[in-house]
Structure 1
């Protein structure tokens, strides 16, 4: 059975950009596309039809039907070969899209919607959905660079392993290079065992670097075996993780990050690195929760 890509729409320019990106994702994945609008107004007990004094085409219900129809038209224009369906579901956007994500292999949303506040760089629905969805979430920020690589942040944590697999799958689907970036500092790198027991804290920076390079290679090994056709560039950066990934996103087609990584606090659903990327990356960002996989 073909997979399913879900895209959330609200009529905003951001969500229409997400629709086009979602259509291209569905085409690459040989999946169907479902355009979903969360219809909040029925719960507000407000009139949905046209006003008796207004035009027949007025009213909230007609407006919703028009915005969904426009989104479907955009999707079909972007990827004519993709099967496109639509659904208007009563409920709050996060609740609706979280429920829809149970049957999907990917959920796509814009970085901001019609309810976005001026100056707010990423909408609350995108952030919360990245933390709660049952499959990977693609947040469409700036336009993807078709010839750019897929970049994935690698930290060696079990939580980040699924993000690495998703990144390999994406690079394979796109036919592009995968840049596996691991950033470390002397503050966040695990201390390797000292070669001289008499100097337990005298580990030179090069020893830390070698340990981090080993961590990167080990984190990629099994994935590389499963995706032998993907060209992988190992990129080790001595510096803060957030800054390194944001800089790498400038030339990327897609940035992939785990929802939480090494050093994440228990109970924290979305880590600081993934949140920083959602707010500041220069390309679309996919956030992958541990255990989330292709349906």
Structure 2
């Protein structure tokens, strides 16, 4: 099954930068790209056509179609060889994207509103996707730095983010920084025999180990300040749980200056069920 890269768009420039990033990643993965714009107005009973006396190209439905057309043009410019399709589901953005996550290779969204306190408390699209999606999620933030290092935040609970991080670093020919944060606040590194296995699988990737100290979220933000991508794990299945427990992935999602990939990490008790 040729699972697509799925990107959600609205009428913001942030979402168009997410389209560019998603198109480039679809090209690198040799996957199709599917662009979604959630069209919630029919559910609210709003009139969808142009107002009386208004130009025929007016109205909410035509506006939504223009959002998709603009995103399609941006994707085709960024990656001309990628097969691109569009969708206008009549539902909320989170609902649409979570539904498509079950058939997607990757979900991509822009960072619009993620830095606002209201968005954090009420549940932004990126935050909910990062905890509930059935596939990895990338939230495109900040200026894109294609040739910056890939930073993988790993902790004492495992290395589940490493396959995604190594594969991305290999596709983009970028250095991979393994940023290890210990729960005790003292940075550690992976043993040499573990690194040797990864070097064997990805011989073209240059690996740099960077033990971090201090608050995990702040340490990762500092380590990824010049990165092309920051990869972190999410141990929470619901956004409220992540907020209550001070999730590192949620912290970097709201303050990172580069795209953030969030990988769902199963705890041992979950994986044995």
Answer yes or no: same fold by TM over 0.5: yes
CA displacement at 1:219 relative to structure 2? 6.0
TM-score, with length taken from structure 2: 0.87
CA displacement at 1:184 relative to structure 2? 3.2
Give the number of aligned pairs: 261
| Bigger mean CA offset, 66-75 vs 148-157 | 148-157
Aligned alpha-carbon RMSD (Å): 2.6
Equivalence for 1:56: 56
| Bigger mean CA offset, 49-58 vs 31-40 | 49-58
The DSSP-based 3-state class of the residue aligned with 2:86 is strand
The DSSP-based 3-state class of the residue aligned with 1:38 is coil
CA distance in 1, matches of 2:194, 2:38: 39
Taking the TM superposition and a 5 Å limit, the aligned residue runs for 1:161-180 are 161-180=159-178
CA distance in 2, matches of 1:56, 1:216: 66
Cα distance change of structure 1 residues 218 and 276 upon mapping to structure 2, 3 Å threshold? farther
Deviations 1:219-271 (A, max 9, x none): 6554443223221111112332212110111111100000129xx99x93576
Equivalence for 1:236: 211
Equivalence for 1:11: 11
Equivalence for 2:270: none
Equivalence for 1:97: 97
Equivalence for 1:74: 74
Equivalence for 1:27: 27
Taking the TM superposition and a 5 Å limit, the aligned residue runs for 1:55-204 are 55-112=55-112, 124-158=124-158, 161-184=159-182, 187-188=184-185
Structure 1 gap segments, 5+ residues each: 190-208
CA distance in 2, matches of 1:33, 1:3: 9
TM-score, with length taken from structure 1: 0.81
Structure 2 gap segments, 5+ residues each: 267-273
CA displacement at 1:25 relative to structure 2? 0.8
CA distance in 2, matches of 1:71, 1:179: 32
CA distance in 2, matches of 1:127, 1:22: 18
Equivalence for 1:206: none
Which structure has more relative contact order (CA 8 Å, sep 6+)? It is 1
Larger Rg: 1
| Bigger mean CA offset, 104-113 vs 269-278 | 269-278
> Does the 8 Å contact 1:112/1:121 carry over to 2?
no
